[in-house]
């Protein structure tokens, strides 16, 4: 299987580090023109400079946008789509702050809704007219295993990501006849800055060391290790390709087997 995404335009959120960076790199290796999006312009410039160029016409670019400021994000993403169209949309954002359900108030949930749901909805709806017109497109949502089994310290993420999954499934049925696919990836434990922050937070709450917390997580995973960002990019590249043209409305665990141990 040789995945080729030549002439395809991809937009990848939160792509300066971690899973987002892994996705952007692998899409570029397959020949896609990749637009990376995040809030730090210096990091974005560096990310673009590191993306591979495998053919002369391939071009990469960036968009500066802060997912946590929805009103401003809405203006920026609307301006982007006035001048650009995309074939592959990877909805990925930074996660909300960790914490227990009893620690969060209504305002916390509203901010998480803006971050995780409204940005996904807004971006997708702007990307769809071009996809519908050309009769093809790929929408891939970076989600979490917590939609299957809530994680105690991630009350905000548990709640809002579940809403995204339900919305995505509904949308997938409505646009399937346009040959546009909508799929979700249920993320397990990957070796990223995000997981390191969560491990540190759990260590502070439990009194254990970060190494103990990390070892405990790895022990629960049948493969006994954290995932690599490039492994995430491999799945996204497949879902973005013609090989996945009949796969839609799915929520696919990517977790080293962890989902089966619940």
Together in a domain, 69 and 167: yes
| 204, 113, 119, 121 alpha-carbon torsion, rounded to 10° | 140
CA distances from 148 to 152, 173, 261 (A): 13, 21, 12
Residue pLDDT, tens place only, 152-188: 889 999 999 999 999 999 999 999 999 999 999 999 9
In this prediction, residue 199 carries a pLDDT of 85
- Residue 3, domain member (yes or no): no
User: What average pLDDT score do residues 3-10 get?
Assistant: 97
Based on C-alpha coordinates, what's the Rg of the chain?
Answer: 18
- Residue 259, domain member (yes or no): no
Q: Rounded to an integer, what distance in angstroms lies between the CA atom of residue 6 and that of residue 171?
A: 27
In this prediction, residue 98 carries a pLDDT of 86
Together in a domain, 163 and 215: no
Residue pLDDT, tens place only, 222-243: 999 999 999 999 999 999 999 9
Together in a domain, 22 and 120: yes
3-state secondary structure of 256: coil
- Residue 178, token pair as written in the block: 């346009």
Q: Which residues contact 128 (CB under 8 A, 6 or more apart)?
A: 137, 175, 180
In this prediction, residue 260 carries a pLDDT of 60
Together in a domain, 199 and 70: no
In this prediction, residue 262 carries a pLDDT of 43
For the chain, how many structural domains are there in total? 2
Residue pLDDT, tens place only, 67-76: 999 999 999 9
Together in a domain, 40 and 167: yes
Together in a domain, 248 and 136: yes
pTM of the model: 0.92
Together in a domain, 143 and 206: no
Q: For helices 70-83 and 119-134, give the axis angle rounded to 10 degrees.
A: 20
Together in a domain, 123 and 145: yes
Q: Which residues contact 66 (CB under 8 A, 6 or more apart)?
A: 39, 72, 73
Task: Count CB neighbours of 161 within 10 A.
Answer: 27
Q: Rounded to an integer, what distance in angstroms lies between the CA atom of residue 192 and that of residue 198?
A: 10
Residue pLDDT, tens place only, 89-132: 999 998 888 899 999 999 999 999 999 999 999 999 999 999 99
Instruction: Return the minimum-mean-pLDDT range out of 49-58, 88-97, 137-146, 252-261.
Output: 252-261
Together in a domain, 202 and 96: no
Residue pLDDT, tens place only, 7-61: 999 999 999 999 999 999 999 999 999 999 999 999 999 999 999 999 999 999 9
Compare 44 and 216 and report the one with higher pLDDT. Answer: 44
Strand order in the sheet with 180-187: 61-64, 33-38, 9-13, 88-91, 137-144, 180-187, 251-254
Q: Provide the residue range defining the domain that includes 199.
A: 193-226
The secondary structure of 96-127 as a DSSP string is PPPB-GGG--HHHHHHHHIIIIIHHHHHHHHH
The secondary structure of 12-80 as a DSSP string is EES-SSHHHHHHHHHHHHTT-EEEEEES-HHHHHHHHHHS---STT---EEEE--TT-HHHHHHHHHHH
In this prediction, residue 70 carries a pLDDT of 97
Together in a domain, 131 and 202: no
Q: Rounded to an integer, what distance in angstroms lies between the CA atom of residue 17 and that of residue 196?
A: 13
Domain containing 132 — which CATH number? 3.40.50.720
């Amino acid at each position: 299987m040789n995945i080729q995404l030549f002439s395809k335009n991809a937009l990848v959120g939160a792509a300066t580090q971690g899973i987002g960076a892994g996705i952007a790199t692998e899409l570029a290796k397959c020949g896609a023109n990749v637009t990376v999006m995040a809030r730090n312009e210096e990091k974005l410039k560096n990310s673009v400079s590191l993306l591979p160029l495998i053919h002369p016409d391939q071009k990469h670019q960036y968009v500066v946008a802060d997912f946590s400021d929805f009103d401003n994000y809405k203006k920026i993403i609307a301006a982007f789509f006035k001048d650009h169209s995309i074939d592959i949309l990877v909805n990925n954002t930074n996660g909300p702050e960790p914490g227990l359900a009893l620690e969060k108030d209504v305002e916390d949930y509203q901010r998480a809704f803006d971050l995780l749901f409204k940005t996904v909805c807004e971006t997708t709806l702007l990307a769809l007219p071009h996809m519908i017109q050309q009769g093809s497109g790929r929408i891939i949502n970076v989600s979490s295993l917590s939609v299957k089994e809530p994680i105690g310290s991630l009350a905000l993420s548990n709640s809002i990501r579940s809403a995204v999954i339900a919305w995505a499934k509904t949308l997938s049925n409505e646009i399937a006849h346009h040959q546009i696919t909508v799929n979700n990836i249920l993320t397990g434990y990957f070796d990223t800055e995000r997981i390191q922050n969560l491990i540190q937070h759990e260590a502070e709450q439990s009194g254990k060391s970060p190494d103990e917390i990390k070892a405990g997580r790895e022990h629960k995973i049948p493969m006994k290790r954290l995932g690599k960002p490039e492994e995430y990019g491999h799945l996204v590249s497949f879902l973005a390709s013609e090989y996945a043209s009949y796969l839609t409305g799915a929520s696919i665990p990517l977790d080293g087997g962890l989902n089966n141990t619940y």
